[in-house]
Structure formats: C-alpha cells, structure tokens
Chains A and B, each alone.
Chain A
Amino acid sequence: MADEILSVDDLTVRFHLKRGTLTAVNGVSFDIKRGETFGLVGESGSGKTVTARAIMKLIPTPPGEIPRGRVVFEGQDILKLDPDGIRKLRGNKIAMVFQEPMSALNPVYTVGDQITDVLRTNLGMTRAEARERAGDLLALVGIPSARSRIDNYVHEFSGGMRQRVMLAMALSCDPTFLIADEPTTALDVTIQATILELISSMIDRFGMSLLFITHNLGVVAHACDKIGVMYASHLVEMGTKEEIFAKPCHPYTVGLLNSIPRLDKQTRYLTPIDGTVCNMLDPPRGCKFNPRCAHAMDRCREEIPVLKEVAPGHLAACHLNDMQ
C-alpha cells in the first residue's frame, strides 16, 4: 500500500551477551500509515525501545544482531542502508525524542548550539540562519521568551522545558516521522499533560506520523490512533485504540487493563497478573505468556501463536482465539 510511511516486517533483534543470547524483539510486524499515530505499549523489557532503535538503525552490532526482518521507510529498507544513507534520514526525515532529556541533551553546549548544529549539518544553513530558526523552533514548542533562552544550558531548564527543547530539536528539519520513546515518563502528570498536548498539536500542524512508545496505558488511550501491545519480545495484540480498550483479545492485554487502579471507583483488591515476566535469556517454550496465563493449554506450551485477525483491523496472537 502506498499510504504506508513505515512498514516493519518480521523484525527480529538479538543480543549476544556473555550469559547467552537474548532475543529482544521477535518477529514483530506492523505498518504505520501517513498521518497515523501508533502506540507501542508494554512493560519494562518487552522490547519496545529496542524496536524503536532498530527502526533508527541504532542497534550496536556487536553485541546486537538483526538476523531477520525489514524496516521499510518511504519505500527504502532502512536496515540495508549504508552509514551515509541512514545519516541522511536520521534527524532529517525521522526524528526521535527520548525519555531522559537530561541524558539525551549535551550538558556542556547551550541548547542553541545543539539545535543549530542539527540545522547546519542537515540543511546546510549558515550560522545566522540556523540561529534565527532555532529561536523560532524554541518559541514554537512553547518556551517562554525563547530568543533570550537560546544561550542557556540544559541544566537551566526544568524537566518539562527540557522535553520541549528535545521536541524543538526533533522538529528542526521538518521530519515526516517522529519516534517518541517514553517522552513523558520522567515528568509529573501536569507537565505530562502539556507535553502530550504539544506533541499532538505538532503532529497535526506538520502532518507527521508518530510512533509513540510508552508503558502507560492512559497515555496511549489519548495520544494514539492504533495500539500494539508487546510482551516478552513479541507483538501480542494490535488494533485501533477503541478495539483494544473495549474488546482486548489477548489474556495479557486483558490482565494489563485489569491491573490498573481506577480513578472513577474504588475496589478493595485489584486483579493483577500472577507471576513475573519470564527470564528473557531462557524463555519458556511456546507462548511467552503461558506461565502467567490462566487459560494456558498444552498447545500454548508448545507452539508460539502468531498474530491473526480477530475482527477487521484487530489482530491477536493467542491460541484461544482459534477455538471460538
């Protein structure tokens, strides 16, 4: 289909560690259409950040390895690009916002230096042009008296303002695709609300597509059109946010939704998912979720379920859905 901006197909990422081989991402496939916002949800270690980094070709090899899969962005396979080719894409057409603005931004350069650097490298602007544009960008993301703060260092900004700087830098070259990796996780909820509002207004304004990575189901419920749920390196369920929240079809998604304490009513006990996430160096056979699943059958312990359509546009990887 031509209207897909990014198409990830059977992406598999392994890390060869001293203690063994860890498969961080296992056969993950999804498409993102132009203008669409796709949320990748999962708990720590589920492989969502590694997926994002693989899309940007940021997996260090070794110890990493991508034995299978394709990441097709606007018609070209990113994984096959040479270093020059990928450098033309990164920061230019695909931009990324990270979780920790304090570690993603350089503390010894002013924010103006860091933004102009991107502009001069990618767009070949002169120093004066770049500085002018950097001021515009900082104003665009809602930094008060932006032009006077261009020569400030990162530590002179609050957490929310740093995330705005990150976003200004990401937007600097008019990207068509934005990857936001837990952009609000380190922030307080009132600041989170403003950053989410800012991201969605920028998406609308520039017509960007978004891959949003988060562990917070509340955030995806509002920031994304489509949702993919990851568990232990597999994409276990995918669909529109309305479908996923109203009719979750994978026991893990159901468990996750039941685990969240609710704001609208008080219950004495929550319904948690039993057990803990499997050891990724020695995962169970079959479905990775089977040791924690109340519905696990013999088949679940043998055969890895694949994503199958359970309703139009709604896919789940669970053997239970074959039985209905």
Chain B
Amino acid sequence: MQHPLLSVSNLTKHFMLNNDFVSRMAGRTRTLKAVDDVSFEIARGETLGLVGESGCGKSTTGRLITRLIEPTSGAVTLDGEDVLALDRRNMLPARKKLQLVFQDPYSSLNPRKTIMQILERPLIVHKIAPGWGERRTRVLELLNLVGLGREHIDRYPHEFSGGQRQRIAIARALAVEPDLVIGDEPVSALDVSIQAQILNLFRELQEKLGLTYLFIAHDLSVIRHISDRVAVMYVGKIVETGPVEEIFANPRHPYTKALMAAVPVADPKSPPPKLMLSGEVATPIDPPPGCRLCKRCPLATPNCETDPPPMRDFGAGHLVACHNI
C-alpha cells in the first residue's frame, strides 16, 4: 500500500498473570498473549473487517490502536505519525483523528447527561467550538447526519431505543471529524432489522465523509457486507487477510474455512452448519511456539507445533499463515 492511513506493525499485547513477587521468584508467572505480532494496513476510505471468535484479541487490537490499552510492543502509524511515541499532551490531537464506537450503546452513553451534553463534550475537549451557540448548531448537524432530529437534542439516553442510541454513539465519534473510525462490534447488540439500518448508516457516512473504518465483528455476514478487506484472527494472531471477495470465495486457511462452514445460512437449501475442527479454542495463556490451531487442524503436521507459520502471499494481497497449503 502506498500511503496507508493506518499502519499497524508487529503489534503485541502480553498480559502477565500471577505477576506478584512470590510467583515471580517461584517461576510461576504466566503470559496471556492477547495480541501477538499483528500487522495490517488500512488505506484512506477503506474498510478493514477484523473478524474472529470471543477472546481472539480483536477488541484488544482496536483498543491498542487507540491506546486505551498500552501495547507491549509494536508500532501504530496514523497518517504518518507514530501514535505510540506520543506523550499524553500530544495524544489528544491524535485522538481527534481516530474515534471508537463501542458495542453496547446502553453502557457507552452516560445516563445522566442529555444528548446535547454527550455530543458537545468532544467539541469542548478538542476546543472545536468554543461558544455554546456554535456547539448547539454543530450538535444539530451531527444529529441530522445520523438520522435523528432536533427534537432529540435535550432528551436522555433512556428515552431512546438501542438502534437510536447507537446512532448517538456514532454521532459522538463523528463530532471531531475523525479520519478513522474503529467500530468494536457496533451492531452485534442490535436486532437484525435495526442492525441493517445501522450498517446502512455506516455505509452512507463513509460515502458522504470519506471515512476509513476498522470494523471489528464476530458475525461473518456483517463483515462480508461492510468490508473491502478482511483479516481473520485466531487466538491473538491474524491467520488470513485479503480482499473481501477473495477471502469469501477462496478461503485458504483451515480456520477461515471452518469459520465459514459453521455459519448457518438463512436458506434451508444451503448446506447445514458444520464444525470442521476438533476440540475447543486454544488458550492464549503460554501458547505453544507454533501455529495456534495445530491441535485442532485437519492439515496439521509435526512442524506446525514447533514453527510459527509465516504469512505467505497468494497474490492480490491475499496473505495466509499456514505451513500446509
């Protein structure tokens, strides 16, 4: 990619468990490798879908990029600027460029604040609109942008449905005119009919404002719908990445294949969901050095347990980390 808006390289977050003095002396500390050597790039105006099952590290990746959690190592470059090197004071202007939308619109909005107070907050913090009147105008613009009206501005979050709250959360993210919006499962708490409305809103805003998305989700059909490119994570590692059409037409990694075969498609004529892997999801605590899937994989060979599979290029940006394909 020529000039990616966001470039993440070798991003790693290890949480130390049993990290007290006695355990350290006794050598009982354990390492939870939540995100392990993750690299990807996102071009301006593009949507990267990050997909994986619970605990695979996809949300942690989103939080590391925004530095809500401090990474153990790695680099995050946003618009040419090294985000991880910034101190507290310089982090504020960087945050203006990247904003988050969280999963649960019931807990991400302060119940004691009106919509005006919620949406003017980023304008005050980033000193975008100093006067109250200016802010009021901007908040009305934002509400209009996400499909809410003037009548909603002085209400409280409890007066809104889940879908409307997610619209408010999106408006808050857009208040500072960010370049990159990270959506952390932004539609998974919503019913399908509302989910479709919010997915359309994400699409519409991207076309209108030229936004770049990192869209984190566990639902493959949502990822398929919204993404230009997809990265599949399993236990802290990206196992496969590529253009959305290519990944869905030609999944190569055994995990990606298994994930796709397990989705029940809403059509009785489609093949029934199947699990092609044995056993349960591996633990990210002190994982073996090789491939994280080795214990469950139908293609596993002895070297899978010992050698970490490198990312191999299969053309057109389709990268797969597997020894045996």
Contacts and interface: CB of A to CB of B under 8 A. Distances in A.
A193 B53 CA distance: 13
B88 to A, nearest CB: 37
Contacts of A190: 53, 258-259, 262, 275, 277, 281
Contacts of A84: none
B272 interface: yes
Nearest to B163: A276
A291 B262 CA distance: 36
B100 to A, nearest CB: 22
B192 A256 contact: yes
B272 A272 contact: no
B275 A260 contact: no
Interface stretch (A4-12, A130-138, A212-220, A295-303): A212-220
B196 A259 contact: yes
A245 B262 CA distance: 20
Interface string B201-242: 001100000000000001011101110000000000000000
A110 interface: no
Interface stretch (B77-85, B177-185, B263-271, B297-305): B263-271
A218 B271 CA distance: 11
B123 to A, nearest CB: 28
A43 B193 contact: yes
B191 A270 contact: no
A261 B222 contact: yes
A260 B219 CA distance: 11
Given A188-B218, A245-B267, A255 B275 contact: no
B244 interface: yes
Interface string A212-234: 00011111011100000000000
A218 B265 contact: yes
Interface residues of B, number: 45
Contacts of B54: 188
Nearest to A257: B266
A241 interface: yes
Contact of B225 (A160, A267, A272, A277): A267
Contacts of A271: 196
Contacts of A256: 192-193
Contact of A260 (B192, B218, B270): B192
A255 B197 CA distance: 12
B268 A222 contact: yes
Given A217-B266, A257-B266, A263 B220 contact: yes
A217 B259 CA distance: 18
A18 interface: no
Given A188-B218, A267-B225, A222 B200 contact: no
Given A193-B262, A245-B266, A245-B268, A217 B280 contact: no
Contacts of A218: 263-266, 273
B29 interface: no
B28 interface: no
B248 interface: yes
Contacts of A262: 221, 224-225
Nearest to A219: B264
The 8 closest A-B pairs by CB, nearest first: A272-B196, A261-B225, A218-B264, A259-B196, A43-B191, A193-B262, A273-B193, A188-B53
21 contacts: A43-B191, A158-B280, A189-B263, A190-B258, A190-B277, A197-B274, A215-B191, A215-B192, A217-B192, A218-B264, A222-B273, A223-B264, A259-B196, A261-B221, A261-B222, A261-B225, A262-B221, A262-B225, A271-B196, A273-B196, A276-B161
Given A272-B193, A273-B193, 20 more contacts: A43-B191, A44-B191, A161-B280, A190-B275, A190-B277, A192-B262, A193-B274, A215-B191, A215-B192, A218-B273, A241-B268, A255-B193, A260-B266, A261-B224, A262-B221, A266-B224, A266-B225, A269-B204, A272-B195, A272-B196
